[in-house]
Structure 1
Amino acid sequence: MAKATLKTLAEYTGLSVTTVSRALKNGDDVKQPTKDKVKAAADKLGYRPNLSGLGLRTGINYNICAILPVTKPGDMVGDVGILGLIEGLTAGLENTPYNLTVLPLVPGQDPLEPVKYAVENNLAGGVIFNLTQTKDERVTYLNENNIPFVSFGQTEMSLEHPYVDIDNYDIGYRAANYLYERKRKDIRLISSSRIYTYSWHKYYGVKRASMENGGCFEKDKDIIFDTDVVNYREYAKELMAGSNAPDGIICGSEISACGIVAGVQDAGKVIGRDVDIITIETCDLPSFFVPPIPGFRQDLHSIGRKLSKFIVMNIERDGLDPSETQYIEKTTLYNR
Structure 2
Amino acid sequence: MIGIRELADHLNISIGTVSRALNNKPDVSAKTRELVLGAAADLGYVPNQAGRLLRQGTSNVIGFILATDSEGMMQGDLFFVRVFDGMQSVLSKHGLDLVALLAPSSEDPMAYLQRTIARQFYDALVLSGIKRQDPRITLLSKNSVPFVTLGRSLTDAGQPWLDLDFEGMVRQSIQRLARKGHRRIALALPNDDLNLGHIMLETYRDSLRKNNLTFCPDLAMPTLSGDTAGRDLAMRLVQRDDPATAVIFSDHILPFGLYHGLADLGLTPGKDLAIIGIGTRLSSLLRPSLTHYRFNLFELGQRIAEALLETMPRFQAGTVAKLIRETVAFTLVEGDSDAQDITPKSST
Give the TM-score of the pair, scaled to structure 1.
Answer: 0.77
Q: Does 1:291 align with 2:288?
A: yes
Q: What is the distance in 2 between the residues matched to 1:320 and 1:165?
A: 25
Q: Which among 278, 285, 300 is matched to residue 297 of structure 2?
A: 300
Q: 1:167 Cα shift? A: 1.6
Secondary structure of 2:163's match? strand
Q: C-alpha deviations, 1:1-54, integer Å up to 9, x for none?
A: 999xxxxxxxxxxxxx88xxxxxxxxxxxxxxxxxxxxxxxxxxxxx9975355
Query: 1:162–1:326: 8 Å Cα contact kept in structure 2?
Result: yes
SS at match of 2:275: strand
Letter in 2 for 1:263: G
Aligned to 1:118: 116
How far apart, CA to CA, are the structure 2 residues paired with 1:127 and 1:192? 25
Deviations 1:130-155 (A, max 9, x none): 11112211111111111100000011
What SS class does the counterpart of residue 136 from structure 2 fall into? helix
Work out the CA distance in 1 between the residues paired with 2:92 and 2:225.
41
Q: Do the aligned partners of residues 216 and 109 (structure 1) sit closer, same or farther apart at CA in structure 2, a change above 3 Å counting?
A: farther
Equivalent residues, number: 291
Contact 2:130 2:149 in 1 (8 A): yes
Note closer, same or farther for the CA distance 1:311–1:228 as it changes in structure 2 (3 Å cut).
closer
Among 170, 180, 187, which residue is 1:189 paired with? 187
Distance in 2 separating the partners of 1:118 and 1:79: 26
Between the aligned partners of 1:177 and 1:262, the Cα distance in structure 2 is: 26
1:269 Cα deviation after fit: 2.1
* Helix, strand or coil at the partner of 1:95: helix
Say which of 91, 94, 107 aligns to 2:92: 94
After superposition, the C-alpha distances for 1:105-133 in whole angstroms (9 at most, x for unaligned) are 33354222332222211222111011111
The structure-2 alpha-carbon separation of the partners of 1:179 and 1:154, relative to structure 1 and needing over 3 Å to count, comes to: same
1:39-118 alignment to 2 at 5 Å? 51-52=49-50, 55-56=53-54, 58-71=56-69, 77-107=75-105, 109-118=107-116
Could you tell me how far 1:292 is from its partner in structure 2? 1.3
Q: Which residue of 1 aligns with 2:339?
A: none
Report % sequence identity. 20
Q: In the aligned structure 2, how far is the partner of 1:217 from the partner of 1:108? A: 37
Q: Which amino acid aligns with 1:330?
A: A
Shift of the 320–133 alpha-carbon distance from structure 1 to 2, 3 Å rule, reads farther
The offset of 1:165, in angstroms, is 0.9
Q: Which residue of 1 aligns with 2:155?
A: 157
Identify unmatched segments of 5+ residues in structure 1: 4-16, 19-47
AA of the residue aligned to 2:290: I
Give me the whole-angstrom Cα distance separating, in 2, the residues matched to 1:192 and 1:64.
28
Counterpart Cα distance in 2 of 1:290 and 1:50: 56
Other structure's SS at 2:310 match: helix
| Superposed displacement of residue 270, structure 1 | 2.2
Indicate if the aligned counterparts of 2:141 and 2:157 stay in contact, CA closer than 8 A.
no
* Shift in alpha-carbon separation, 1:208–1:54, aligned structure 2, 3 A: farther
Structure 1 residue matching 2:127: 3-state secondary structure: strand
Contact conserved, 1:190 with 1:252, CA < 8 A, in 2?
yes
Q: 1:319 to 1:102 in 2, by over 3 A?
A: same
Using the TM superposition, give the Cα deviation of residue 234 of structure 1 relative to its aligned residue in structure 2, in angstroms. 3.3
Structure 2 regions of 5+ residues with no counterpart?
4-22, 25-45, 336-348
Looking at structure 1, the residues matched to 120 and 143 of structure 2 have their Cα atoms a distance apart, in angstroms, of 12
Summarize the alignment of residues 244-263 of structure 1 with structure 2, pairs less than 5 Å apart.
244-263=242-261
Contact 2:293/2:333 (8 A) holds in 1: yes
The letter for the 1-side match of 2:206 is R
Note the C-alpha offset of 1:57: 5.4
Q: Please, what is the CA RMSD of the aligned residues?
A: 3.0
Native 8 Å contact 2:110 2:136 kept in 1: yes
> Alpha carbons of 1:226 and 1:68: their partners in 2 closer, same or farther (altered >3 Å)?
same
What does 1:188-207 align with in structure 2 at a 5 Å threshold?
188-207=186-205
Aligned to 2:229: 231
Residue 84 of structure 2 contacts residue 98 of structure 2 at CA under 8 Å; is this kept in 1?
A: no
SS in 2 for 1:156: coil
**Higher deviation after alignment, 103-112 or 62-71:** 103-112
Tell me, yes or no, if the aligned pair for 2:137 and 2:155 is still in contact at 8 Å.
Answer: no
The farther-off stretch of 52-61 and 196-205 is 52-61
Q: Secondary structure at the match of 2:92?
A: coil
Contact 2:67 2:102 in 1 (8 A): yes
C-alpha deviation, 1:201, in angstroms: 1.1
If you compute each CA radius of gyration, which structure gives the higher value, 1 or 2?
A: 2
The CA deviation at 1:166 is: 1.0
Q: Distance in 1 between matches of 2:288 and 2:122?
A: 46
2:203 and 2:140 map into 1 onto residues whose CA distance is 31
Equivalent in 311, 314, 324 of residue 308 of structure 2:
311
Residue type of the alignment partner of 2:89: A
* CA 1:108–1:168: 2 relative to 1, 3 Å: farther
